[in-house]
Amino acid sequence: MAISGLERRSEHEWVIPQTGPMRVPAVIYASESLVNAMDAKVFEQACNVASLPGIVGASYAMPDAHWGYGFPIGGVAAFDPTAGGVISAGGVGFDISCGVRTLRTGMTRAQLEAGRERLANELFRTIPAGVGSTTSYRLTGREMDDMLAGGARWAVENGFGRPEDLLRVEEHGCMEGAEPSVVSQRAKERQRDEMGTLGSGNHYLEVQRVVNCYDPEAAAAFGLAEDDIVVSIHCGSRGLGHQIGTEFLREMVIAAPGLGIELPDRELACAPIESPLGQRYLGAMRAGINCALANRQILTQMTREVFARVFPEAQLELVYDVSHNTCKAEPHYVDGRSRGLFVHRKGATRAYGPGHPELPEEYRKAGQPVIIGGSMGTASYILAGTQESEQRAFSSACHGAGRAMSRHAATRQWQGRQVVDELAARGIIVKSRSLRGVAEEAPGAYKEVAGVVEATDRAGLARKVARLEPMIGIKG
DNA sequence: ATGTTC
């Protein structure tokens, strides 16, 4: 079946050939049914990205792609700084380094059941969640700058977690090249008492059980077996990342004409990586990445403290921490030679294959853990990066189910209370301070995560390792 | 995503 403008290259790969202002083709990795269900805006946005200066290879969309600000969410694009390549605030997204980490507890389902209700209550009471949530960890100006430079490493040095955690975080917990001095005072003020908060929207803390190991060897390498209890934390850089995104987006829109950049869409505002503005954004964005890494690290420590009260035997070792909204400098092979590229992944996960030097020793054979968050009430997945992913989309994979309808549409279709009750009937405890938020996040408002993961696996972006089913959800 | 519209 022909889908307007798309050529099918293989079962799970679709191409929009280079035309007009496009500098490279657009490539969509998805099944036929996912492509059919995608908003045409995704294809339009992928083509717009393909027209940006210095783009290398192609503009990619992952199987969970949906309409976003400028770039599609589920979009991947790499740029060569020596060829006028650009960096785009909209290409990273507002929630800089939003991501997810998974902790294994060493507990089985039967052990959890004995105290599940109490654990849910304690987590809900302890983990600050929701719009404008704050904590008592209020940072001084100096501490803020140290946190922005040090990320999760700063958090560990300040008592939040264990040094060995850092081996299982991208960038070993600290994004180098962060420039706290170029982050505005306003961004810092917004973040001052938001460290260790979950936030709202699709962010969550979930207690899950491993229900299926598709690749037992890789699952064992990640410390996972069927019936194990794990905890996943999904959140980002809170007010700070949002403020950085807002400010630089505005500045890039204003600066673009003077930098000789013609924008097909003002939401694609960007600056050459080698320009002073590009460098300033890079320094601020990297500080935003560190903020998110530190935030997830602090939340990890808070979660450990809750478990210590309810299940003292639980261990809570970090499996891995991945970021979904980033632009990172990485070497990639293009046409047989290694080039230093800046890879935007917006709603997309890095998925390094086996043997990559960035990976911790014990994961080097299996490949990078790729954590795919489901919606509340549906499964999450752990995948592993593949060797061929490097040739697909610069070692990238999807990040979640992806929304199937707007938040507004979801609130017309569901009541929060009804969603909570239906999940409870299925044995899933969901706790949230916002019933409207629960309605917006109703499982039915998302694509079928299993189909997205299957397409990701079949497209060769990452391979399935394990499926996780929710047991407790703490929502913003 | 977001002190849910500086």
Domain annotation covers residue A433: no
Q: What is the pLDDT of residues A197-229, one digit of tens each?
A: 999 999 999 999 999 999 999 999 999 999 999
Domain annotation covers residue A310: yes
Q: What percent of chain A has pLDDT over 70?
A: 99
Model confidence at A5, pLDDT cuts 50, 70, 90, reads confident
CA of A242 to C1' of B5 (A): 15
Nearest residue to nucleotide B3, by CA–C1' distance, is A132
Q: Give the domain CATH number at A47.
A: 3.90.1860.10
Residue A399 bears catalytic tag = yes
pLDDT at A3 over 70: no
Average pLDDT over residues A437-451: 95
Tell whether residue A332 is among the known ligand binding residues: no
Q: What is the pLDDT of residues A256-274, one digit of tens each?
A: 989 989 888 999 999 999 9
Nearest residue to nucleotide B4, by CA–C1' distance, is A131
Tell whether residue A475 is among the known ligand binding residues: yes
Domain annotation covers residue A253: yes
Output the CA–CA distances (angstroms, integers) from residue A123 to A205, A452, A473, in the order listed: 9, 30, 9
Tell whether residue A374 is among the known ligand binding residues: yes
The sign of the torsion formed by the CA atoms of A125, A128, A134, A139 equals positive
Nearest nucleotide, CA A69 to C1': B1
Domain annotation covers residue A412: no
Tokens of A397: 């994979």
> Which residue out of A242, A356, A399, A408 is catalytically annotated?
A399
Q: Which residues contact A111 (CB under 8 A, 6 or more apart)?
A: A229, A311, A313
Nearest nucleotide, CA A190 to C1': B3
Average pLDDT over residues A74-90: 97
Average pLDDT, chain A: 96
Tokens of A135: 């904590």
| pLDDT of A343 | 98
Do strands A462-475 and A55-66 pair parallel, antiparallel, or not at all (unpaired)? unpaired
| pLDDT of A397 | 98
CA of A243 to C1' of B5 (A): 15
Model confidence at A165, pLDDT cuts 50, 70, 90, reads very high
CA of A2 to C1' of B6 (A): 46
Residues around strand B, C-beta < 7 Å: A 94-95, 98, 130-132, 186, 190, 194, 199-203, 235-236, 238-239, 242-243, 434, 476
Distance (Å, whole) CA A412 – CA A93: 27
Tell whether residue A423 is among the known ligand binding residues: no
Q: What is the pLDDT of residues A166-191, one digit of tens each?
A: 999 999 999 999 999 999 999 999 99
- Do A196 and A303 meet the contact criterion of CB atoms below 8 Å apart? no
Domain annotation covers residue A221: yes
Do strands A204-213 and A380-385 pair parallel, antiparallel, or not at all (unpaired)? unpaired
Nearest nucleotide, CA A242 to C1': B2
Domain annotation covers residue A440: no
Bridge partners of residue A55, in order along the sequence: A79
Domain annotation covers residue A471: yes
Secondary structure letter of residue A403 according to DSSP: B
What is the span of the domain harbouring residue A138? 3-404+446-475
Output the CA–CA distances (angstroms, integers) from residue A320 to A12, A211, A341, in the order listed: 27, 19, 24
Average pLDDT over residues A395-421: 94
Domain annotation covers residue A409: no
How does DSSP assign A85-141, residue by residue?
-EEEHHHH-SSTT-EEEEEEEEEEHHHHHTTHHHHHHHHHHHS--STT---S-PPPH
| pLDDT of A262 | 86
Nearest residue to nucleotide B1, by CA–C1' distance, is A95
| pLDDT of A398 | 97
A270-283 burial code (b ≥16 CB/10 A, e <16): bbbbebebbbbbbb
Q: Which residues contact A345 (CB under 8 A, 6 or more apart)?
A: A75, A76, A323, A324, A325, A326, A327, A328, A396
Number of domains present in the structure of chain A: 1
CA of A7 to C1' of B4 (A): 39
Q: What is the pLDDT of residues A105-123, one digit of tens each?
A: 999 999 999 999 999 999 9
pLDDT at A2 over 60: no
Tell whether residue A184 is among the known ligand binding residues: no
Average pLDDT over residues A64-89: 96
| pLDDT of A1 | 43
Q: Which residues contact A84 (CB under 8 A, 6 or more apart)?
A: A53, A54, A272
